[in-house]
Amino acid sequence: MTDTPLAPAPIRAVKTPKVGIVSLGCPKALVDSERIITRLRAEGYQIAPDYAGADLVLVNTCGFLDSARDESLAAIGEAIEANGKVIVTGCLGAEPEVIQRAHPKVLAVTGPHQYEAVMDAVHTHLTPPHNPHLDLVPESGLRLTPRHYAYLKISEGCNNRCSFCIIPKLRGDLVSRPIHHVLAEAEKLVAAGVKELLVISQDTSAYGLDIRYKPETWRGAEYETRFLDLARGLGSLGVWTRMHYVYPYPHVDNIIPLMAEGLITPYLDIPFQHASAPVLKAMKRPGNQDKVLARIANWRRDVPDLAIRSTFIVGFPGETDEDFEILLDFIREAKIDRAGCFRYENVAHAESGKLENHVPAELKEERWHRFMEVQAEVSAARAAAQVGKTLDVIIDEADDQTPGGWIGRSKADAPEVDAVVYVASRNALKSGDIVSVRITGADDYDLYGDVA
């Protein structure tokens, strides 16, 4: 079950209906769960911390990889066994027959982002309280992340058609949120204590394309619904802002000056997936690696601290030894600082399953290990180069293993997926503090230092 940062429950004469939430999948699904609990609380429902205390359980599923589908189905089964009243939503909800076949006792199934349908299903199976205490809901909404960072979802869906991906089938084409709504949400989050915004979508650099970059007004100034104006607006809020899921389109160059000025965190999460032209073509991804390398070199010239995170797939159907070597060379040359690597897996209904020359499992495994070794070398070189510097570090939590120790992150690290900085401090710190840390040591990924 997911813990939620809720205010203490008010004393009530009547029993308040309680909903439990199990949130699976990626940060985008987490944001969906946050929206759902915000709506539930706005209507006066309480969020139960465990199955036993819940009158009904909502399972927000992921349907991307076969392993995620299995995990979702297992979570639904667990919730049915422990509680009995279960509503399913999220990506796997786009295939209700799969869920109902495995778990006929499920009360209702709704697809991704169907907030209204989820609320209708909850109302049907758990009568809403008569007297909702709207004032219990903080203006920034309710979140499942710690208080000091928040995911900011700017759009749903995707216009690309990568052959290994079924997200457009599950979530549809790109639908951008108007920029004044996104900026107003960010402003509320910052007012509520958020120190770090993580911008997410399926394709952040395509933001606004579907609504022709419609101009809107925020704080008396005009902003177009587009990536650059989003960065300008968020940059004016004075907190760390990380851009996730950015494609290396030429217009990404425009936000580099905002990073050089310190308005946007010098961090780009670009899911390259591969570097070899034939593989990228089979993946149906845009890509000209020469231009990408030249662009990255220019970015680093202007913003020397820039950290680049990416994800890659090894063992894609048809990937030859030569393709794989090209990928390794790219990691070294582009100095991809942080990388997630997946062994190719057939996703149900994805086009890539029908491609020829699937790579044997042992070879995929071998390539994965070689990839991780090369990436560790790149990461270790970056980490070693930080020793002796003083970096801003955002504190996430106390280090249970070390008295007086804290765990935080530099600007080069996003929460959950990247490295950490182990910080020694004579004074007590708290989550969300941003402190100057003198870096004294490093391993392949993590840094060690003292509060300066």
Positions that interact with ligand SF4 (CB under 6 A): 158, 160-162, 165, 167-168, 202-203
State the DSSP string of 227-280: HHHHHHHHHTT-SEEEE-S----GGGGGGHHHHHTTSS-SEEE---B---HHHH
Least separation in angstroms between residue 244's CB and ligand SF4 is 12
Between 10 and 286, CB nearer to ligand SF4:
286
Between 200 and 306, CB nearer to ligand SF4:
200
Type of residue numbered 435: V
Q: Which residues contact 71 (CB under 8 A, 6 or more apart)?
A: 24, 62
Cβ atoms of 190 and 237 within 8 Å: the answer is: yes
What is the distance between the terminal CA atoms of the chain, rounded to a whole angstrom? 39
Rounded to whole angstroms, how far apart are CA atoms 231 and 263? Answer: 8
Between 99 and 165, CB nearer to ligand SF4:
165
Between 161 and 369, CB nearer to ligand SF4:
161
Cβ atoms of 303 and 263 within 8 Å: the answer is: no
Least separation in angstroms between residue 121's CB and ligand SF4 is 26
Cβ atoms of 420 and 410 within 8 Å: the answer is: no
Between 161 and 430, CB nearer to ligand SF4:
161
Structure tokens at 383: 């980490």
Residue 388 is classified by DSSP as: T
Cβ-based neighbour number of residue 371 at 10 Å: 21
Angle, vertex CA 289, rays to CA 342 and CA 308, nearest 5: 55
Between 167 and 279, CB nearer to ligand SF4:
167
90 dihedral zone (left: phi>0; alpha: psi -120 to 50; beta): left
261 burial via Cβ count (<10 Å: 0-12, 13-18, 19+): exposed
Between 327 and 395, CB nearer to ligand SF4:
327
Helix and strand totals (H; E) in the chain: 12, 20
Between 101 and 161, CB nearer to ligand SF4:
161
Between 46 and 60, CB nearer to ligand SF4:
60
Cβ atoms of 155 and 109 within 8 Å: the answer is: no
Least separation in angstroms between residue 348's CB and ligand SF4 is 14
Between 196 and 203, CB nearer to ligand SF4:
203
Least separation in angstroms between residue 370's CB and ligand SF4 is 24
Least separation in angstroms between residue 131's CB and ligand SF4 is 42
Classified as helix, coil or strand, 313 is: strand
Least separation in angstroms between residue 287's CB and ligand SF4 is 12
Least separation in angstroms between residue 289's CB and ligand SF4 is 17
Least separation in angstroms between residue 283's CB and ligand SF4 is 8
Tell me which H or E stretch contains 373: helix 361-386
- Going 276 to 281 to 283 to 287, the CA torsion angle's sign is positive
Residue 92 is classified by DSSP as: G
Least separation in angstroms between residue 167's CB and ligand SF4 is 4
Least separation in angstroms between residue 114's CB and ligand SF4 is 19
Between 64 and 448, CB nearer to ligand SF4:
64
Least separation in angstroms between residue 350's CB and ligand SF4 is 9
State the DSSP string of 178-215: PHHHHHHHHHHHHHTT--EEEEE-S-GGGTTGGGTT-E
Cβ-based neighbour number of residue 226 at 10 Å: 23
